[in-house]
A and B are shown apart, each in its own frame.
Chain A
Amino acid sequence: MSDTTATPDEAAPVFYLTDEHPHAEGASTMFGFWLYLMSDCLIFAMLFATYGVLGGSYAAGPSPKDLFELPTVALNTTALLLSSITYGFAVLTMQRGLVRQTQLWLGVTALLGLCFLGIELNEFAHMIAEGAGPQRSAFLSSFFTLVGTHGLHVTFGLIWIATMLVQIGRFGLIPANRRRLMCLSMFWHFLDVVWIGVFTVVYLLGVLR
């Protein structure tokens, strides 16, 4: 105690964290979004666990072998994988500040995402038309929940891409828009990571079973 009073020219020691400290605008957005993705990851983990438990309960209904067509799934996977690399190109052009090209690559990404979604909805429609809807068996309930949740995420990603196209068209590649595009980048690539789990666990292992 006497030490601190003896040297008044030195700043008094602070033993607590002051609440206010400078933050650049949006400095913690990326980390916050990463935490959101991690929580989303847990949602998918639960759905995978559900599918893992119920995936073998066909209730004398159709099994994965009867329902899944791997060539369609391969096409689907290709669309999503290609959309990942085109989003990468969008990020690269964004970093070089090229507005038109960034929009172009975002548009290509959205088209590939739409292809993915179209193929998936078509597959769902076929299954439901064949009487293999979500109410048929525990396997199909968990299948539609897991794959449907992923499809829903892709849908929201597409809405986000459309929003960003408008935003960039209006305001250009301002720092806020760059930050949003980087968050969307994480979101989009994260969906691709989840899809790896889906096509492996649901489709490939389902057909193997």
Chain B
Amino acid sequence: MSAEAHDHAPPENMHPGHAEDEGLHVTLRGYLTGFVLAVILTAIPFYLVMSGAIPDKVVAAVVVMAFAGVQIVVHMIYFLHMSPKVEGGWSAMALIFTLIVLVIALSGSLWVMYHLNANMMPMSVEDMRNMP
């Protein structure tokens, strides 16, 4: 991949994407925006759970998870300064790869283990209670 870009670059040049490592776009405005968003996105799920504003637990769980997802994206953009351009796109590539592995591992574990629990438990709940 980088070999093609390399051929065109003059030899005294650095690798493409290596040059701007400290040229990250860091501003006070960005940090404050991220912070305010993070506070809001933290406060709302805590309020929802502590006050029990959503009676249906499944709905509440989905809403809380959604807030967490949005907050993670906010942190990625405003605090970790992620963008598709960082390091010529290789950081984003690594992130996407990690996310794919993460989703497979998490959903796979939960799915498989749920069915193992549901289908292979040799005892009833009553048996479990009376276990030594």
| Residues in A lying within 8 Å of B, measured CB to CB | 14, 17, 21-24, 26-31, 34-35, 38, 41-42, 45-46, 48-50, 52-53, 60, 70-71, 73-74, 77, 81, 84-85, 88-89, 91-92, 95, 178-179, 182, 186, 189-190, 192-193, 196-197, 199-201, 204-205, 207-209
Contacts and interface: CB of A to CB of B under 8 A. Distances in A.
B49 A52 contact: no
A197 B60 CA distance: 16
Contact of B105 (A14, A22, A38, A45): A45
Listed from nearest, the 4 A-B pairs whose CB atoms lie closest are A88-B31, A200-B68, A49-B109, A189-B79
Given A45-B102, A74-B50, A190-B80, 17 more contacts: A23-B14, A53-B109, A71-B50, A81-B39, A84-B35, A85-B32, A88-B34, A92-B28, A179-B22, A186-B80, A189-B79, A193-B80, A196-B68, A200-B64, A200-B68, A208-B61, A209-B57
Contact of A27 (B18, B42, B49, B97): B18
What DSSP secondary structure best describes chain B's contact surface? Answer: helix
Nearest to A189: B79
Contacts of B61: 205, 208
B95 A193 contact: no
Contact of A17 (B6, B45, B72, B76): B6
A85 B68 CA distance: 18
Interface range on chain B (Cβ under 8 Å from partner): 35 or more
A182 B45 contact: no
Contacts of B50: 70-71, 74
A49 B34 CA distance: 28
Interface of B: 3, 6-7, 11-15, 18-19, 21-22, 24, 26-28, 31-32, 34-35, 38-39, 42, 45-46, 49-50, 57, 60-61, 64-65, 67-68, 71-72, 75-76, 79-80, 87, 90-91, 94-95, 97-98, 101-102, 105-106, 109-110, 113, 129
Nearest to B21: A30
A38 B92 CA distance: 11
B132 to A, nearest CB: 12
Contacts of B3: 17
Contact of A23 (B18, B28, B35): B18
Contacts of B68: 196-197, 200-201
A92 B31 contact: yes
Contacts of A30: 21, 87
Contacts of B75: 84, 189, 192-193, 196
Contacts of A84: 35, 38, 75, 79
Given A17-B6, A189-B80, A193-B76, A23 B15 contact: yes
27 contacts: A23-B18, A24-B19, A27-B14, A31-B21, A38-B94, A41-B102, A42-B102, A45-B102, A52-B106, A60-B129, A74-B46, A77-B42, A81-B39, A81-B42, A84-B38, A84-B75, A88-B31, A89-B28, A92-B26, A182-B24, A189-B79, A192-B79, A193-B79, A196-B72, A205-B64, A208-B49, A208-B64
